[in-house]
Amino acid sequence: MFPSLKMIMADKVDTSASSSFYALLITVLVIVGSCCAEERSVYLVLMEEEPVAFHGSHLSHEGRKVLALDSEVSKAHAKHLVDSHDHLLQSNLETGSYNKLYSFKHIVNGFSVHTTPSQANKLKVAPGVKLVEKDRGAKLMTTYTPQFLGLPQEVWAKEGGDKNAGEGIVIGFVDTGITPEHPSFTYDPLNPFTSNISHFSGACETGPRFPSSSCTGKIVSARYFSAGAQAIATLNTSVDFLSPFDAAGHGSHVASIAAGNAGVPVIVDGFYYGQASGMAPRARIAVYKAVYPTVGTITDVVAAIDQATMDGVDILTLSVGPDEPPEDTITFLSVFDVFMLFARRAGVFVAQAAGNHGPDFSTVVSYSPWAVGVAACSTDRSYPGSLLLGNGLKVGGVGLSGPTFGDGKFLCKLVLAKDAVRVNGAFPRTPEYVEECQYPEALDPVIVRGRIVICVFSAGFYNGTSNINAIIDTARTLGFMGFAFVANPAYGDFIAEPIPFAVSGIIIPKVVDAQIISQYYEQNIQRDERGFVIQYCARAAIREGRVASFAGQAPIVSRFSSRGPDFVDINRNPADVLKPDILAPGHQIWAAWSPLSALEPILTGYHFALLSGTSMATPHTAGIAALIKQYNPSWTPSMIASSISTTATKYDNYGEVILAEGSYLNSYYPSTHFDRGAGLVNPARAIDPGLVLPAEFEDHINFLCSLPGIDWSVINAATGERCNRSLSHPANLNLPSVTISTLRNSLTVKRSVKNVDSRPETYTCSVISPNGTMVNLSPTWFRIAPQEIQDIEIQFRVIQAGGEFSFGEIVLTGSLNHIVRLPLSVLPISTS
């Protein structure tokens, strides 16, 4: 193309045509240039030199900073780091080829930049640069639970009731922001905060829908981070507010689960569902908005983590993050995980969503031992609905819906949507129009008005182009008495969650139930020779679907909850770390919501939402960690994590091993550690665990240095730490569990326990060996004084090789009624 253009340019052209010719030529060149131009991306860059928090090792033994961040020394070092970032960019990249987004300077020294791949490659070899990683994007990991976990009667009572539970603790939320006027976050001047949070210093950043009055005392700080989002996308000003305001609802939901005010009435569509309370209702909230309805980036998330740690949060809640493993490095050393490592080093307990890719194995997105990965489960609360047929049969389903006329006792005519289609309508005869009730213009209003209409799951729902909201709109537009959205034998059963319906409605997700309805319907209508219905005699009523039932087996690991084993790289080679760590309620959780509901139109206008996801399980654990921190203020994050793990229960309310949902509807199997972690969190026992297993920053570095085949220079590049020593085996990291991904013949590992009780205690040691192994403990009993540390040797020996992980546990039973459990997960490869 270019040679021919040059020849044309060399020829003489008629001057009268020259202007139009050159305009065309310029257009062609612009198109060619834009096709060949490199597309910019966001890159995260880690640098040499210590960040402010660790400059000169100014840390207390608990990991908290002792050097004031507003001191002249800190300010000077922070300025020096920012200047060095700017100098490096100016010296190595072409002018105009980049845009620096952030300088990270508190817990990690580095920056993020929006530039091209070729410019990023220059940074990789620039002096002082340790690591360059492309931003993978950040996603959201998308009441009754305080009672289910025993908080009001046990933990809250020990801490002065709900008016004191969490007092003095600041929980940071990196998420979509917060709705400040929501009653879950308002400040009650009649119940003022009395605690000293001088260790925390935040700011109240204002902007659209977020005036300075938004930070009233409950919300002690609110910031937003948008440089990454603005670099890679055109933000929608109607929802992507450049302020801490939450247009999506997710951040408000998460914050209220962990730290929402106690006793807030949950009212949706005029119906009272009960009261909602956070796990730690007196904890303060610090907001770090880093994900927007349009887009989320890791660069905004890690900038928020850096700031939250600088501000001095005690607990950090991450229900957002990368949704896939890194491609170019091990999972533990992605930039995201490195930021969590240094937040932990600075004394911050980090709770992270395990992910929503279950029930397949090795789908967790929480990898590192320094963050607590949280799986999701159900409680024993459900919202059963039913459709009463004219023959007296009652078909079960779901839907937060009021009953049809007469409190569901009056039977209305039942009409199949396909039988109510306008005969002469000018619309395509596709399933969306004919079966799925997506378009009101497709249905005859005379036939459907005042009747219960059967809408059928078909191609539109299967492809994701149809939605329940459209059915509700159609029902309201045409005046349905109600609707029944039923399964289709051609597509099988589907998973349904209860959501509020503005009209009477019910979802029937099982094919067998849908066939009962279909059979009854066909037996009670008359068709003419063309197949058109000439008489509708089938009748039905939708019963009340908003009243909770508290029965059945619980908890059950949710189908969507990501499973272990943990893995070390993108090839999913297993790691010697247990993930998920813990199980918490994350299925059908009521919590605060933003009425804008930018990502969920069906929830628009609501102040509360019933959601499921590991996003919901994570703040349960964060709030419980806040209660533990309040009760034991000197404990480090590893001690809190240990107490949560060793006191968890693996049994459900029937006394059986907790079940896990399988791939199919109503399929269950006994859960393993890779489904539930250590088990369901038990806050009443976690505040008084008896023993803890500490593991601090140096231990985590030694763990990294012991990974098989690891290049120590990679660890130094990511963390700035040298491998002066390593563990004899990665499984020797002092975690409250033991995971061995490859056991050949035998292996001895060690665990060190610390007595955190004020009294001496005698413990007896017992073990349930994983199948195919023999496990021996030494000592078999010990007496331990307050604050004393006891080492325990654990010898594993393969007695029968196998190709799958097997599971067991160590149980330390104390004379003062403390019970400490350590999950065992082992893959026995060979006996020699």
Task: Please answer whether residues 568 and 715 qualify as being in contact, where contact means their C-beta atoms are separated by less than 8 angstroms.
Answer: no
How many whole angstroms separate alpha carbon 660 and alpha carbon 363? Answer: 15
Amino acid residing at 723 = C
The tokens of 361 are what? 């194995």
How many whole angstroms separate alpha carbon 375 and alpha carbon 560? Answer: 9
Looking only at Cα atoms, what is the longest distance across the chain? 104
Q: Backbone phi, then psi, for 440, in 5-degree steps?
A: -60, -30
Task: Please answer whether residues 487 and 457 qualify as being in contact, where contact means their C-beta atoms are separated by less than 8 angstroms.
Answer: yes
Task: Please answer whether residues 266 and 590 qualify as being in contact, where contact means their C-beta atoms are separated by less than 8 angstroms.
Answer: yes
Complete DSSP assignment for 634-658: T--HHHHHHHHHHT-B-B-TTSSBP
How many whole angstroms separate alpha carbon 301 and alpha carbon 325? Answer: 16
Burial of 826 (0-12, 13-18, 19+ CB in 10 A): buried
How many whole angstroms separate alpha carbon 68 and alpha carbon 58? Answer: 9
How many whole angstroms separate alpha carbon 163 and alpha carbon 275? Answer: 15
Per the annotation, the verdict on 673 as an active-site residue is no
How many whole angstroms separate alpha carbon 563 and alpha carbon 568? Answer: 15
Task: Please answer whether residues 166 and 281 qualify as being in contact, where contact means their C-beta atoms are separated by less than 8 angstroms.
Answer: yes
Q: Is 813 helix (H, G, I), strand (E, B) or coil?
A: strand
How many whole angstroms separate alpha carbon 509 and alpha carbon 496? Answer: 6
Beta carbons within 8 Å of 164's beta carbon, 6+ residues apart: 156, 282
Q: What is the DSSP letter of 109?
A: -
State the residue for tokens 């002092």.
734
The tokens of 501 are what? 């319906």
How many whole angstroms separate alpha carbon 816 and alpha carbon 821? Answer: 15
Cα dihedral 233, 235, 236, 237 in deg (nearest 10): -170
Instruction: Identify whether 265 is preceded by a cis peptide bond (ω within 30 of 0).
Output: no
Q: Which listed residue (55, 77, 250, 673) is catalytic?
A: 250
Per the annotation, the verdict on 175 as an active-site residue is yes
Instruction: Identify whether 580 is preceded by a cis peptide bond (ω within 30 of 0).
Output: yes
Q: Which listed residue (135, 175, 323, 419) is catalytic?
A: 175
How many whole angstroms separate alpha carbon 563 and alpha carbon 542? Answer: 37
Q: Which listed residue (334, 615, 737, 806) is catalytic?
A: 615
Per the annotation, the verdict on 729 as an active-site residue is no
Q: Which residues are catalytic?
A: 175, 250, 615
